A and B are shown apart, each in its own frame.
Chain A
Amino acid sequence: MISRFKLVFGALAILVPVIASNPAFAVNPDEMLSNPVLEERAREISKELRCLVCQNQSIDDSDAELARDLRVLVRERLVAGDDNEEVIDYIVARYGDYVLLNPPLKPETYILWASPAVLVVLALLAVFAFYRRKQREGSPASASLSKDEQERLDELLGTSNDDGKS
């Protein structure tokens, strides 16, 4: 049991999106770069950037005119020789952190990024305390039956064998 848990938590470390929405593309052929390496990088960057007029969609997914402009802009910067981070910085400098689908780690977002971990820890503590209390109150294994329950059990046993099914 414990080793299984270790296995799962170990697996967590190497995890990337599984149940996430499918990344697919609305990029048009005329926007694509002829250099496949650059095009691949453009795709990668586009998935991180938000279409400003849509609901939480990346510019890679969006049909909107503005998204198209951003896609073209990303490719222009790549052709000009920027590396991926420079391109993203270039766009963030113009549109703000709002364009980043993955909120950057900065003082304003510390709470956001910390909250899942904090919640998990709190839940673990609460669950642990819950079981501790249950155990202090007497585990069901050792608890003897109350008088009524014993009577009822005798009555049931007298008539039929209680099956063990759930």
Chain B
Amino acid sequence: MFAELGHFALLLMVVTGIGQAVLFSPLWLRASLRMLSPQRASATPAGSPDFSDDDDNDGAFGQTTVKPSSLFLLPAVILLLGLLAEGALLNAFIVSDFTLPIVSNVSHSSTPLLYRIGAAFTPDGGAMLLWLLALSLVNLLIAIQLRSSVAICTDRFARNALSVLGALIAILGVVTLIDADPFLRVTVAPLDGRGMNPQSQDLLKVLREPFLYLGLAGLAGIFAMTLAGLLDRKIDRRFAETMRSWTIISWVCLGTAIAINAYRSYSEQAWGGWWYWDTAENSLLLPWLLATALLHCRAVLEKTETLRAWTAFLGITTLAVGWFGVYLTRSDLFAPLPETQLLPIDSTGLLVAFCLVFAVAYYLFWRSVDQMGDGRGFDVISRESAMFLNSVMLSLVAAVVLIGTIYPLVLQWITGDPITVGAPFYVKALIPIVLPLLFLMAFAPALRWRQDEVWMIGRRMKLAAILSLITVLFVSIRFIDLSPAPLIGIGLAGWVLTASLSDLWARLWRHPEYGESKYRNLQLLGPRYISMTLSHIGLAILIAGGSASSIWEEQVVVSARAGQSIQAGPYNLQYEGVSLLAGENYATRQATFILYRHSLPVTELFPEIRYYPIRGVETREADIWHGRDGDLHVSIGDRDDDGGRVVTVHYLPMMPWVWGGMLLMLIGGCFSILTRVILRFKKTGVPAS
């Protein structure tokens, strides 16, 4: 019964989505048609009186038919319908309604409640529904934002953007219904489900999906605003301001999904690695890279109204790669994907919709790009220039990752002969791009807008250069046998870190017109500067941790007997034995280790091998101690022939820096959003710089 309600809600969502697309902007279609006819388009360049008069008439027409308050009405209805549909699906999973194949395929009556809810996000239909729900939430938030900031953007812009979002909701709704309808029933229900994929039975994994799809929905919001801006040929400062929070929200959400993914690989596998360049990881990384590029371009656009076309291009392309990533992970093109193997997969609809949406989007872009003009230029040595080069290099990284991801696929399609593109390729291809990127990254905060002098930069960067050289010297003397590669990694991390800190320092202390109190100076710097600095420092820490843990890693594999002691780094692990325990829906062999540091007991660690009888799958759960100076990563393997237990211990020095760096980057992003929200409510206090 509820499932039918949900099905109906999903259908209504499509209808209201179309309604929103058409009602909000009858001019949307007309504007597109106008662009199709070349003589009209060329006769009405941006801002010419003819064009704007025309628009005003349309706008007046729009205003008289739809009252401003009804801007929320349809988005609110869509969100309500989305919640209803998602609620119906979750209900089916919670009560284990096995007449729905989607439930019986990935759930089981013995699956714990939390993971039954989590299982609802993993199959195609559930994931699409989650994406739709996130989209409708973003839709409503954008409606509220655009309405409350009428001063910033025109009514026409708001309507166009919402109309594009409505169209996206309708298209994705139709794709869901065609490709992977989650609410279909079978007449003969199986007695029980086939169980959840044990690899996904993890709290973090459950949390990853909402973050991923919220991030993608935020990108869709940016996409809609970009199209609206292109239709108006107004990619300007106000457009950049409107888009601002959405770039940060998407960036934070996608970054969280990536961090969760990395930590999950790390804690699940026996070998302490956290990034493998597989399809799922790459398809998360791609939109995040472009969102980072967009974040920087947008700031330039807001400040100087340059890079209009490039920002608009990134605004469209970021969603494109995000969408394509969803298609890649949801399609059967990459066979060994345990999560999607069980349901018959058909992602053709998603691909067709992808082609359709982005053909239209890029066509609009192409038609309007040369009519936008660009603001006044900037010098080669200026902050704009640094941020522009940064976004170009990030896009290059994304392009290489994309090629590496789809190349095997295309080759197999052409020659039928599969190849693998693994970490060695990405490392060789990306290092030459990433290193200059990091090197230049340190300059950006210290550069002035528009124009700067080389000798001035030299003066400002002097301290950072000296400090990072000292770091490199210290490390190379202290660890004399170090190869140059990690040294360069650590040196660059130090370079970025010291440059950020010295810039902060200079701004706090040396600025003549700043106030007496340093705290007041910190306030004057503004939330944007602080969040940027936090994120840059986070990245530096992440790189330092990654480089260091890869060189100083110690690995011990032994066949251990109860009572045996294993030495790893400064730690000493005492193996106590394995006990057989029962989890909620699995049996587990849980080993107990007592961790000593300099012969003082620190904690107990419990790595496990779990057996999930429903799928007949074993999973290994490592246990990790995050110490001050490094992670201790323990996992157990099979029993040896001579009765010992295979124990793998990794001591990864500075590994907490990797996680801390990721966290700091995300905190940087959140800081910027939070202060903005708080400021909006307080309306007083710190002026946003």
Interface residues of A (CB under 8 A from B): 1, 4-5, 8-9, 11-12, 14-30, 32, 48, 50, 53-58, 60-61, 63, 96-103, 108-109, 111-112, 115-116, 119-120, 123, 126-127, 131, 134-135, 137-141, 143, 163-166
Contacts and interface: CB of A to CB of B under 8 A. Distances in A.
Interface stretch (B80-88, B105-113, B179-187, B427-435): B427-435
Contact of B403 (A24, A28, A115, A135): A115
B423 A56 contact: yes
B557 A28 contact: yes
A56 B417 CA distance: 17
Contacts of B344: none
Contact of B425 (A103, A165, A166): A103
B420 interface: yes
Given A12-B431, A26-B271, A97 B419 contact: yes
Contacts of B558: 29
Given A63-B620, A119-B396, 13 more contacts: A18-B485, A20-B423, A20-B550, A22-B272, A26-B637, A30-B646, A55-B280, A61-B273, A63-B637, A97-B418, A108-B411, A116-B429, A123-B392
Which of B271, B274, B451, B488 lies at the interface centre, i.e. has the most chain A CB atoms within 10 A of its CB?
A: B271
B404 interface: yes
A99 B420 CA distance: 7
Contact of A20 (B336, B388, B427): B427
Interface string B431-465: 11111100100000000111100100000000000
A4 B495 CA distance: 13
B378 interface: yes
B550 A17 contact: yes
Contacts of B269: 61, 63
B379 interface: yes
B277 interface: yes
Given A28-B638, A102-B425, A103-B421, A116 B433 contact: yes
A26 B388 CA distance: 43
B425 to A, nearest CB: 6
B379 A101 contact: no
Interface residues of B, number: 88
Contact of A115 (B392, B400, B550): B400
B418 A120 contact: no
A136 to B, nearest CB: 9
A163 B513 contact: yes
Contacts of B557: 25, 27-29, 32
Given A26-B648, A97-B419, A19 B434 contact: yes
Contact of B376 (A17, A58, A96, A140): A140
A140 B418 contact: no
B270 interface: yes
A145 to B, nearest CB: 10
Nearest to B553: A22
B66 to A, nearest CB: 35
Contacts of B388: 127
Contacts of B378: 134, 140
Interface in B255-280: 269-280
Contact of A120 (B279, B433, B547, B689): B433
Contacts of B668: none
Contact of B650 (A24, A98, A165): A24
B420 A103 contact: yes
Contact of B423 (A21, A163, A164): A21
Nearest to A52: B336
B400 A24 contact: no
A57 B280 CA distance: 13
Nearest to B276: A56
Nearest to A104: B419
Nearest to A19: B546
A123 B450 CA distance: 22
B274 A55 contact: no
Contact of B271 (A61, A103, A139): A61
Given A18-B489, A112-B403, A12 B420 contact: no
Nearest to B619: A63
Given A19-B434, A24-B273, A120-B433, A54 B336 contact: yes
13 contacts: A11-B484, A12-B431, A18-B547, A19-B434, A21-B277, A22-B553, A56-B276, A98-B418, A102-B424, A108-B411, A115-B400, A115-B429, A116-B403
A30 B641 contact: yes
A30 B544 CA distance: 35
A119 B637 contact: no
B376 A55 contact: no
B129 interface: no
Interface string B55-96: 000000000000000000000000000000000000000000
Interface in B269-311: 269-280
Nearest to B445: A166
B420 A100 contact: yes
B448 A166 contact: yes
B399 interface: yes
Given A61-B271, A63-B637, A112-B407, A25 B276 contact: no
A166 B383 CA distance: 9
Given A30-B641, A166-B449, A131 B420 contact: no
Given A21-B273, A55-B279, A165-B511, A30 B550 contact: no
A15 B547 CA distance: 13
Contacts of B483: 16
Contacts of A101: 420, 422-425
B269 to A, nearest CB: 7
Contact of A15 (B277, B425, B448, B488): B488
Interface in B621-650: 637-638, 640-641, 646, 648, 650
